[in-house]
Structures are given as C-alpha cells and as structure tokens.
Structure 1
Amino acid sequence: MPRIYPLPPFDRHRRFGPALLGIGALAALIACSCPRDAHAAEGARLRLVIDGAAHGATLADTAAAQDFAAMLPVSVEMEDYAGKEKIAQPPRAIRTEGSAGGHRPAAGDMTLFAPWGNLAFFYGAAPAHSGLHLLGRMDGGALAAISRPGVMTVRIEAVE
C-alpha cells in the first residue's frame, strides 16, 4: 500500500489559494452591493445656504433623511470636528427607526451621528461607524464651502 504524505505548506496554498481568492472576491462583491449608496440621484433636492451663497444637495432615500426633511427649513451653527467634518445639533432629535446605520462617509456626505444626535457633514473620508445614518449628499460647491475652516451658519432648505 502506498504511503500518503501530507502536502507541504506551499502545495496547500497552491491547492486552496484560488478557492480563497474566490471567497475573498465574493465577499468584496457583496460588500460593494450593500446599501452604502442610498444616495438617490433622483432624490429630493436641498439648498444649503453657506455664507450667503446657495449650493445644492440631494436628499438620501432613507427613513432618517425623510425625518430630517420634515424639519426643514433649519439653520444650524456648524463647527469643525476631527478635521474631516462639520457638526451641529439639529433643532430636534431625528428618528432612525427603519434607517440602516453603519454608513462609511465620503467627502460630501450629510449624515446623522445617532449616538450624539448631531448632524455631521463630511468634507473628508472617515471609517464606517454603526451610528452614522446617511441623510444626503452635497454638490461640489457646498462641499467646497463646508470645508472652509471655522464655525459657520448653514441654512438647509427643501427645494420646491
């Protein structure tokens, strides 16, 4: 009867490597297809008035975004936080029931940070956080304006 020897370590990698790569590719595909982009290109339009200039934004298709839209128009004092975002307290709590948290913010994202109840408008990328709920996406002009340093008043209005 022939002796069977275990495969040397490099042979095991050669044998199972393609399968592991396939599993990794499938996991990446699933992650990319998750609802990270509730950024609705056809969503309701918003106007952000920053330093007297009007800029556009698009409301996301999330339950938290709909509750946020119900309180508009609103003016908030936004201040820099962590060198990546402007934060402010909304006039009332924004409900998150039915809205998926865990958003990974990119520059231009308007979010709610549910643990603190504050708005967070990102001008830099940041890691995903289970407490972040997407509210919308700023257009380029709004992003440039919000990224200026210092405290600023931002008026957010629904566009009819």
Structure 2
Amino acid sequence: WQQRKYSDYLIESNIPGHDGSEANKLTVKLWGKGVVEKETVTAGSNATKYYIRHTGQLMYGKLDFLHAAFGLVPPELDGYESTADSPAFDILPSADPNFILMTCLSKHTYLYQGNLADGSRKAKRVHVPTFLDMSLNIPNIEEQYRIVLFLHTIDKLIAAAKKKAD
C-alpha cells in the first residue's frame, strides 16, 4: 500500500449546466447514502450556477463533509446537475471508484481530515483543493478490485441473513 493524495486519482469536473430555474438537480445524502435526485419545493434561482454530473463521478457535500456526504453518481442521474457546493470528480483508471468511495467514507477521511479544514465547528466547508490534498492509503488497482468485491460479497451475505431473520 502507498500513501497518496486524492489529487493523484481525482479530477474535478466543472461542465457548465443550467441555472437553478431549469436544472434537474441532484444532491449527496449524509452518511454515505449516495447521490439522489433533489426534491425541490420551489423553483430555483436563475442566478445560481449549476454543473452537469455524470455516471460514476464521485461527489461530496462541502458543508456536510463531516457527516460523510459522499456518493457516486448513479446511471439514472446521468446529466443531472449540482452547484459548486456539491463538487464532482472524474476518477482516473488507476483507481476503482468504489474503493475511492470507501476511503472517503472512512472516519480517517471525513472526520479526522475533515476537522483539519477551515471554518467553524458548525459551518466547516471543505473546499476542493483541501479535499484533493488529503491523503489516503491505497493498494494497486488489482488489490482494490479484490477488496471491493470482498466487501460487496459481505454486504450481500449480511442482507441475506437480515432478510432471513426478518
């Protein structure tokens, strides 16, 4: 395993989209619950700039970083948009997207490193350069695949056991 920076594996995506009155919006849920369509009660502002997001991109919530607001854009939300407060990143082929997501969801990343970011305790905003400069321990790509496969298998076994217990 090597200690690297997220910037070695992620490239910020800033494809201009619509304004807030036209954008199909998405958001990142807390505690690793993923990227979902944003429920809007009122029309958004036409002064707010949105950016197009694509399947497989890693996203996080700048204001909810300490609450593990990370996820990968699912295929059904391809082309949806978010503001700069929920940045998105293309993941380089040298990293498995699910492995990168798992590292983001570790307390070492979202809590320990997130606490090092600027801002007050209640309104800590983790900006893109700060996130990309954070470190992670990462194996080669083949081992990343094996770890992700193993953990997904464990998740399926847990879900099956829970279903059987219910």
TM-score, structure 1 length as denominator?
A: 0.31
Which entry has the higher C-alpha Rg, 1 or 2? 1
TM-score, structure 2 length as denominator?
A: 0.30
> Higher helix share goes to which structure?
2
> Higher strand share goes to which structure?
1
